[in-house]
Amino acid sequence: MTLSRRTFVTASTGLLVSRIVRAAQNDKADIVIIGGGTGGVAAALAACRGGAKKVILTEETDWIGGQLTSQLVPPDENHSIESGGGTKSYRDFRTAVRQHYRKRTERAMRPEFRDTTNLNPGNGWVSRLCHEPRVAVMVLEETLKPFVANGQLTIHRQCVPISATLKGDRVESVTLLDRSTGNHFTLSGDYFIDATEEGDLLPLAKVEFVSGSESKAMTGEPNAADKPRPSNIQSFTWCFILEHDDGKEHVIDKPKDYDFWKSYPNADKPLFQWNDPEFSFYPKGDRDPAGTKPNFWTYRRVVDSKMFVPGSYVGDVSVINWHMNDYTLGSLHGSTPEKAAEHRERSRQMSMALVYWLQTESPRSDGKKGWPGLRLCPEQTGTKDGLAMAAYIRESRRIKADFTILEQHVSKPIRDREFGKDKATAEQFQDSVGIGHYLYMDLHQTSEGEKKGGSQVYPFQIPLGSLLPIRVRNVLPACKNLGVTHLTNGCYRLHPTEWNVGEAAGALAAYCIAKDLEPKQVRADAKRLADYQDQLAKLGVLLQWPANMLRKF
């Protein structure tokens, strides 16, 4: 057994500590889940609850949870999430986050806010539940703890896949690099679930996939590109967290690339500029007293300090995930490893430049410039510098699936034209394994300079066919890598839908092992499909939207 000592930041306290780390060893499991993000956690939970005897989950950072944690992104959710717009286990997670805030004694909430219905600790307006990412880590760890304790689940952190072995159309094993020790180890399994943020297992396992934007000829989508553009991938963002310490000085050293990023053009204007007349920026409270515009500081605010007992926080705490730090100079999985590393570092420097601009040059309604009291929060991010552990990824490699979800299956304008505004809904799928919704196909500027928002969408379903690769028999997607297109990824990529995809994949793998079936056999047989869907329903997965919500948005 190889041991090493590693310094890291704990999820619970934010303190740097030193820990003896055991090197991961070769192992075999019923189900191996590569990637411990939002979908990966849901897949592990469903696989264990579905009766899998041994499940292994790997994660590339120290924190499981992905978008919710290591990427720092408060949940982007549909408007029906409080009343059933997601799976039971996802809503249980949200309830547990709220209970954490209500019960904790350190940084406690003030009594008058503690029992607020649908508590929102940050009072942010991107979500009905804006919370600190480290709280999400603790809740997810606690959720998986019983399965770790009984030996069903093993979690390996700081591990990335580097190769895979196949026999025919089945994957036999995946080899990973343990970045904490530098050692390699191999995991064998009956089923492999790719829950990595960019579909990293797909090329290793020779799973056919699509990257970037498809053409009209490929998909028939009215708003698809004229030609396929495999490198045309949505921007990624290196998020960070700021706290406002009013009256104090926390200005960082001027980043070396600051002048480049400050003047970088965005729609013919400098990138760092409050060029949207609809918003203000005021970190001292809910609203700028000099104006009535919505305050962008509160957009992804995760701590509203007035809701907590005095001394809990110096000031409000907010996640910075804006167009100003969307990185568009290149993609990650569309680049060589060396070029991807360069893009990651440049993205981090872009975010540090934005920190400096906010501290020193951001225009203020009182005529001054900059907010020097803005402070990076490493205790919130689990890192030394206050930047996220990992980049926020919007677009992954996507499997070539038995069924691909197209723009015309979910787009409100397209469906309205075809069926009439009084009758139109999203396409209804007999093989549904869950539901999802986002107001529109959220398309950010791409690595090839394309910038356009997508159309509104109706509440939609997740068809089982979109989880089945066209050839490889024992690999399932559990992230943004299911059978969607560049366009429909824009509404299927968000937190509760990714969780549902992961939950369906984990439950499917466990079901196939228990019944000695393969996924395609489940979809092809009406009785088997109904039996699997019944198992999902027992887990609390909604297979269709209630009739009164089908057209609600």
Asked if the model's pLDDT at residue 121 lies above 70, the reply is: yes
Residue 11 scores a pLDDT above 60: no
| Per-residue pLDDT at 184 | 97
pLDDT of residue 87: 98
Domain identity same for 210 and 330: no
Check whether residue 36 and residue 165 sit in a common domain: yes
Query: Is 429 a domain residue?
Result: yes
- Is residue 153, in this structure, part of any structural domain at all? yes
Looking at the structure, tell me whether residues 241 and 227 fall in a common domain: no
**pLDDT value at 292 more than 60:** yes
Residue 529 counted as domain residue: yes
Specify whether 111 is located in the same domain as 177: yes
Q: Is residue 389 part of a domain?
A: no
Least confident of 202-206, 542-546, 548-552: 548-552
Domain that holds residue 345: 236-381
Tell me, letter by letter, the H, E, C secondary structure of 148-159: HHCCCEEEECCE
Give me the numbers of helices (H) and strands (E) for the chain, helices first please.
15, 21
422: tokens are: 């009084």
Residue 488 predicted with pLDDT over 90? yes
pLDDT at 425 over 60: yes
Angle between helices 495-515 and 526-539 (to 10 degrees): 130
Phi, psi dihedrals of residue 516, rounded to the nearest 5°: 55, 50
Residue 408 CB coordination number (10 Å):
18
Average pLDDT of span 160-179 = 98
Confidence of residue 370 (pLDDT cuts 50, 70, 90): very high
Q: Is residue 15 part of a domain?
A: no
The least confident of 26-30, 109-113, 186-190, 332-336 is 332-336
Report how far residue 421's alpha carbon sits from residue 546's, in angstroms, rounded to the nearest whole number.
Answer: 18
pLDDT for the residue 18: 38
Predicted confidence band of residue 552 (pLDDT cuts 50, 70, 90): low
The count of domains in the chain is 2
Contacts 24+ apart (CB under 8 A), 309-312: 309/107, 309/108, 309/109, 309/110, 312/106, 312/107, 312/108
Instruction: Render pLDDT for 388-423 as a digit per residue (tens, 0 to 9).
Output: 999 999 999 999 999 999 999 999 999 999 999 999
- 448 shares a domain with 371: no
**Domain assignment of residue 457, yes or no:** yes
pLDDT of residue 282: 96
The whole-chain average pLDDT of the chain stands at 93
- What distance lies between CA 415 and its chain's CA centroid? 28
Instruction: Tell me: do 271 and 249 sit in the same domain.
Output: yes
Residue 13 has pLDDT above 90, yes or no: no
pLDDT recorded at residue 335: 87
Nearest to 467 by CA among 523, 396, 531, 529: 523
Q: Provide the pLDDT confidence category of residue 137 given band limits of 50, 70 and 90.
A: very high
- The reply to whether 357 and 222 lie within a common domain is no
Domain C-terminal end among 330, 350, 381 = 381
Q: What is the CA radius of gyration of the chain?
A: 23
The mean pLDDT value for 204-211 works out to: 98
Q: pLDDT-based confidence at 277, cuts 50/70/90? A: low
pLDDT in tens, 64-100: 999 999 999 999 999 899 988 999 999 999 999 999 9
Output the domain CATH number for residue 481: 3.50.50.60
395 domain-assigned: no
Q: Are residues 437 and 305 in the same domain?
A: no
**Within this chain, do residues 149 and 170 fall inside the same structural domain, yes or no?**
yes
pTM: 0.95
pLDDT computed for residue 290 by the predictor = 86
Asked whether residue 115 falls in the same domain as residue 190, the answer is: yes
Residues 92 and 166 in one domain: yes
Question: Is 63 domain-assigned?
Answer: yes
Instruction: Identify which has the larger pLDDT, 386 or 276.
Output: 386
Q: Do 268 and 196 fall into the same domain?
A: no
Task: Give yes or no for residue 452 having a pLDDT over 90.
Answer: no
- Sequence-ordered strand ranges (E) for 245-325: 265-266, 269-270, 301-303, 317-320
